Amino acid sequence: MFHKEGFRIITITFLAVAAVVISADHYISSLWMSKGIQIVALVFLILVLQFFRNPKRTALESETQIIAPADGKIVIIKEVNEPEYFQDKRLQVSIFMSPLNVHVTRYPATGEIKFSKYHPGKYLVAWHPKSSELNERTTIVIEHQTYGSILYRQIAGAVARRIVNYAKVGDKAIQGHDAGFIKFGSRIDLFLPLGTPLSVGLNERVKGGITIISSS
């Protein structure tokens, strides 16, 4: 199953790869070179298909838990000043997504969407300390019954060139449901109230919609 944001790219890639495979057979006399080009083209198609996969998952829905908004690796856990919305200290939990991860963004909690804003910006590598402030990004705030205001931020990386965000102010976010997509490498930052108990640790790998970030 593939994410709808990838349908156009998958179609174009498939047609281009098909043209390369057919052309290699007709116009390249060397068998080894022809097969080599065809193999490279097919591998490229497989990578594109793999990137846009959207595995069906039975997402957790709980009023007392926050779940991972994306697949990847926990690269930051620290108290920071969040200047855009809260303008005070929050607990930041950041998930880095490599090009091999599923890139679907899922709502980390159920609640009303209070804030949703897109910021154009740079394309620093996603693990850069300043990427949360300088890169292309979106900021979304969900008002949660137990945790209060929860902020998550989609951040483009050095390769990612488009962020898709479905969250609109006034809508209801449903925990684990599709909230958007980041194309080709990226990061998700969660900003939680200070003192929030965490169920994950640094360098831990998480699955969007499945892994519990916090349980109160």
Residues involved in catalysis: 186
Residue 171 carries which DSSP code?
P
Residue pair 126/185 in contact (Cβ under 8 Å)? The answer is yes
Rounded distance between C-alpha atoms, residue 77 and residue 173, angstroms? 24
* Tokens matching residue 103: 């890139």
Rounded distance between C-alpha atoms, residue 186 and residue 107, angstroms? 16
Rounded distance between C-alpha atoms, residue 26 and residue 18, angstroms? 13
Rounded distance between C-alpha atoms, residue 147 and residue 34, angstroms? 59
Residue pair 191/152 in contact (Cβ under 8 Å)? The answer is yes
* Tokens matching residue 10: 């998958």
Instruction: Identify how many contiguous H helices and E strands the chain contains and give both numbers.
Output: 3, 13
CA distances from 83 to 16, 67, 145, 154 (A): 45, 24, 23, 16
